[in-house]
Structure 1
């Protein structure tokens, strides 16, 4: 299966690992609670990052907006994207652990998964707003460093076109410098736009993978439950057969006892007849 990158143009993320049904043991409950606490902490961190991005989006395009400010936004999104990916994987493991527990564990796992999906949806919405504002503010024209160039045409004295004085040479140099500056800015903007697009997380793909993971685990659980039901049925059938065999043996023993009694009585009668006859 191809590794999804959730909307990123950089292969930073790996696919959700396949979770196996955990063996029931004394450490399963402890592992469940440790994972639950870790996921809860991650959800809290994602929510804080969302608040920070929302506050940062309002400062884009203002005096506070500069390269360092946008680098911090980029770092926040990268870190949060990694946290979301890791948390989705942990939720898959938590769901698998809950499947071997009681109903209360399953409810806790489902509630935490819903909370995770809600906070990721909000984060994704804010992230798209940040990307839009970054693109919009980056599209604004930047002022030229040297101001408007003076081309040296006209004036009080007319000069021949073939004669280039010092003012015209400086003006041409300034034009070239301005063009180079604008080209460098354009290249930087394109690079930043690619970076912005790479930061935007495809939360729908994460939810899809998480749902597939939980569904696959549900299939394993259904198979286990079916095997348990078949075992219970076979056990009940075996008990019925043993009961029938026991009843058959009891009847057989009763018949044997009756036959033995009849034979004994017959033997006594024959003995008495012979005794009185010979006497």
Structure 2
């Protein structure tokens, strides 16, 4: 169902929501949908900030602080989407909604789907960056731990006596801990992508059902409009018939009056 058709349906809807919740037909529905709309706006802002931070991963500006911000934004945004999803489901199952409220249901669901799809794209980009960074870090550690090739024993002794090229054990352990931490983050992102995909499918199903309901409403509105036009045409036809009938009656009365006058005159003169 196109948004043009939705807009037409909104324009045809007999009910218009006032800006003041006190004058709403259902103030609770209005408050809930307004809150969800604000939450979606905040999630969109989070996604923009998250995208900027992810762009720094794997560059010279990549720091633990950047990774911490990425982690916090991911967690915050995931939690926000789960909360909004529950609100969307509540809105979709709202009872006794009018055409304008049904349009609001459809609009929120579509916005949720679009925003969630954008977040999933950003999450996958973060996942790719994390994996590439982890591979590079593990390769560096393994190369650092690789023993020197066999050669002259005296040369090996000199290498041992000099400053080793290998990182000391503390540095190796630190790098290993970072790698393990990043692998955990990768698993969390993978799990989140799967969970949010489930939410995406749930909302898509709700939007499909809601679209069918809106189609029915639109058809009913169009049918009522068509019936009203038909009734208007019939009333005009009836009005014309009544007018013609009155004109004929008047003509007959005039003819009868003339005949009566002629008869009276004839009788009088005779």
Bucket of the pairwise TM-score, normalised by the shorter protein: 0.5 to 0.7
Aligned to 1:113: 109
Gaps of 5+ in 1: 1-25, 219-279
SS of equivalent residue, structure 2 residue 136: coil
Larger RCO, structures 1/2 (Cα 8 Å, 6+ apart):
1
Following the alignment from structure 1 to structure 2, what is the Cα–Cα distance between the partners of residues 150 and 204? 48
Is 1:209 the counterpart of 2:205? The answer is no
Deviation per residue, 1:120-151 (Å, 9 max, x gap):
1111111111111121122213767x999989
Could you tell me which residue of structure 2 aligns to residue 187 of structure 1? 180
Measured against aligned partners, the alpha-carbon deviations of 1:70-103 in whole angstroms (never above 9, x if no partner) come to: 1111111111111111111111211222x41211
Q: Where do residues 198-237 of structure 1 align in structure 2 (5 Å cutoff)?
A: 198-200=191-193, 202-210=195-203
Count of residue pairs brought into register by the alignment: 186
Assess if the C-alpha contact under 8 Å between 2:123 and 2:189 holds in 1.
Answer: no
Q: Over aligned residues, Cα RMSD in angstroms? A: 4.1
Q: How does 1:10-159 map to 2 (within 5 A)?
A: 29-97=26-94, 99-141=95-137, 154=152, 158=154
Provide the rounded CA distance (Å) in 1 between the counterparts of 2:174 and 2:98: 66
Residues in 1 aligned to 2:195 and 2:106: alpha-carbon distance in whole angstroms: 22
Q: Per-residue deviation at 1:53?
A: 1.7
Which structure has the bigger radius of gyration?
1
> Could you tell me which residue of structure 1 aligns to residue 3 of structure 2?
none
Question: TM-score, length-normalised on structure 1?
Answer: 0.53
Consecutive unaligned residues of structure 2, counting only runs of 5 or more, are 1-22, 212-270
User: Aligned residue for 2:13?
Assistant: none
Provide the TM-score with structure 2 as the length reference.
0.55
Equivalents in 2 of 1:55, 1:166: separation in Å? 45
Partners of 1:66 and 1:81 in 2: CA distance: 23
Q: Does the 8 Å CA contact 1:56/1:73 hold for their aligned counterparts?
A: yes
Using a 3 Å threshold, how does the CA distance of structure 1 residues 59 and 94 change in structure 2: closer, same or farther?
A: same
Q: As a proportion of its length, which structure holds more helix?
A: 2
Mapped contact 2:29–2:91 kept (Cα < 8 A): yes
Cα distance, 1:168–1:196 mapped onto 2, change above 3 Å: farther
Structure 1: how far apart are the matches of 2:187 and 2:107? 36
1:254-265 residue pairs with structure 2 within 5 A? none
Once residues 38 and 76 of structure 1 are traced to their aligned partners in structure 2, the CA distance between those partners, rounded to angstroms, is: 20
Task: Say if 2:109 and 2:207, in contact at 8 Å, map to a contact too.
Answer: no
